[in-house]
């Protein structure tokens, strides 16, 4: 009889927890303040001894108005469900600027079930200087992560403040009658007092992360001829943003490069150096005579402003440069210091001669031959035919 009563109580408890639970934090050290509260985390709802609850988790990145995805990523709190929960707001935080947007990625793992089929996604925005307890929490349960993305990635970042984003998930595992296999991990504990069968409430768990929205910042980036957006491949020397060819015997080459600012009005610098010369005291980024530098040295651009430069560099290209000219704005990272996204400051341009892309390279070590007076000998001189732009790769001549 005692076992049957426990089973009936468990069923009532589980059926009552299929509703959204608004998030409001309770630390481990505060649980004693809620005597009689049922803790979902420690209840076995499975039909088998190896039953496992799913784990809720997500990560956040920030996308700039120009469409560039910043490198910084934060994971929501306590995905593993093993860390202490505190009542203070200590959730992982990522910074954004007005005009940016949020990108959310799925880090949930299913439990005993074969698929996660419920996502309890909740958020609230706390304007700067406001009391978070006075701000409304928006809650929705959806059936797939694309629906989560559709909610979070459309949140407007148009004023200073903080977004608090919470998630719990459930999978389709078989459970006790009336039960749903919800997650029990996270860094945020809440209490649901809406179930009249349990007037003291039920502890529920969410994983949380914060997006702190600050004033807009500048976002400078270079683009090649024919492009208006910076791409990740532009800073890859093996790919380059654009290739220009010159006639054999030419002494200089001229081509356009555009500097853009998708953020707030600010001042930056803009230079170009040959590949491999970045640290050179004269021809490098901080040198007195780089391959090219803007005139004037500092450029002011309004929000969404741009300026095109006709770049002229002498030929032939320096040995060892692979014909790669690197362009960079905000060279020292402090012009301006307020630029939070500096991942898109760099771009490579390829410059090479027209015609067959090969050259002959002789061994770097000298070969010594000793001949007796009056004697002659046939000497074989080894050489390697390589790509002019990438001499580490030899050609096989047929």
pLDDT digits (tens, 9 = 90+) for 53-92: 999 999 999 998 878 888 889 999 998 877 788 777 789 9
Domain positions in the chain: 2-214, 220-353
pLDDT digits (tens, 9 = 90+) for 119-163: 999 999 999 999 988 999 999 999 999 999 999 999 999 999 999
From residue 75, how far is each of 78, 98, 123 by CA, in Å?
Answer: 9, 22, 16
pLDDT digits (tens, 9 = 90+) for 263-317: 889 999 999 999 999 999 999 999 999 999 999 999 999 989 999 999 999 999 9
Beta strands 252-261 and 74-75, pairing class: unpaired
Residue appearing with tokens 């060279």: 331
pLDDT at 2 > cutoff 50:
no
Peptide bond into 296 cis (omega under 30): yes
Give, for 152, the enclosing helix (H) or strand (E). Answer: helix 145-152
What pLDDT does 156 receive?
96
Query: Residues of the chain with pLDDT > 90: what percent?
Result: 59
Beta strands 116-127 and 161-171, pairing class: antiparallel
What pLDDT does 10 receive?
45
Give, for 182, the enclosing helix (H) or strand (E). Answer: strand 181-182
Q: What is the SS3 string spanning 347-382?
A: EEEEEEECCCCEEEECCCCCCCCCCCCCCCCCCCCC
pLDDT at 345 > cutoff 50:
yes
pLDDT category at 1 given cuts 50, 70, 90 is very low
What pLDDT does 24 receive?
58
Pick the CATH number of 220-353 from 3.30.430.20, 2.60.40.10, 1.10.1040.10, 3.30.2090.10: 2.60.40.10
Torsion of CA 10, 14, 15, 19, to 10 degrees: 150
Strand partners, 15: none
pLDDT digits (tens, 9 = 90+) for 107-129: 999 999 999 999 999 999 999 99
Give, for 8, the enclosing helix (H) or strand (E). Answer: helix 2-15
- The whole-angstrom separation of Cα 224 and Cα 136 is 46
């Amino acid at each position: 009889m005692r076992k049957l009563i426990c089973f009936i109580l468990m069923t009532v408890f589980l059926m009552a927890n299929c509703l959204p639970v608004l998030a409001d934090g309770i630390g481990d050290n505060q649980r004693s303040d809620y005597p009689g509260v049922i803790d979902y985390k420690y209840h076995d709802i499975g039909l088998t001894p190896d039953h496992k609850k799913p784990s809720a988790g997500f990560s956040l990145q920030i996308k700039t108005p120009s469409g560039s995805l910043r490198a910084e990523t934060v994971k929501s709190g306590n995905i593993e469900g093993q860390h202490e929960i505190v009542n203070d707001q200590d959730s992982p935080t990522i910074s954004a600027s007005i005009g940016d947007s949020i990108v959310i990625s799925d880090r949930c793992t299913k439990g005993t079930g074969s698929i996660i089929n419920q996502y309890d996604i909740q958020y609230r925005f706390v304007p700067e200087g406001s009391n978070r307890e006075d701000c409304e929490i928006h809650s929705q349960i959806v059936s797939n992560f694309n629906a989560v993305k559709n909610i979070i990635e459309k949140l407007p970042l148009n004023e200073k403040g903080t977004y608090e984003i919470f998630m719990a998930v459930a999978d389709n595992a078989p459970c006790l009658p009336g039960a749903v296999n919800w997650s029990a991990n996270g860094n945020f504990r809440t209490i649901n007092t809406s179930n009249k069968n349990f007037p003291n409430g039920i502890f529920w768990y969410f994983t949380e992360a914060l997006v702190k929205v600050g004033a807009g910042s500048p976002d400078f980036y270079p683009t090649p001829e024919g492009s208006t957006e910076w791409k990740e491949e532009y800073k890859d020397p093996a790919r380059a943003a654009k290739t220009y060819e010159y006639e054999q015997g030419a002494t200089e080459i001229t081509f356009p490069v555009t500097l853009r600012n998708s953020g707030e009005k600010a001042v930056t610098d803009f230079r170009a150096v040959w590949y491999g010369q970045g640290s050179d005291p004269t021809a490098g980024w901080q040198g007195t005579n780089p391959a090219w530098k803007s005139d004037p040295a500092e450029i002011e651009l309004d929000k969404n402003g741009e300026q095109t430069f006709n770049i002229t560099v002498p030929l032939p290209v320096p040995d060892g440069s692979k014909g790669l000219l690197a362009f960079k704005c905000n060279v020292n990272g402090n012009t301006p210091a307020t630029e939070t996204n500096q991942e898109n400051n760099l771009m490579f341009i390829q410059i090479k001669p027209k015609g067959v892309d090969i050259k002959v390279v002789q061994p770097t070590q000298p070969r010594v031959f000793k001949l007796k007076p009056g004697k002659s000998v046939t000497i074989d001189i080894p050489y390697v035919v390589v790509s002019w732009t990438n001499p580490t790769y030899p050609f096989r001549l047929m």
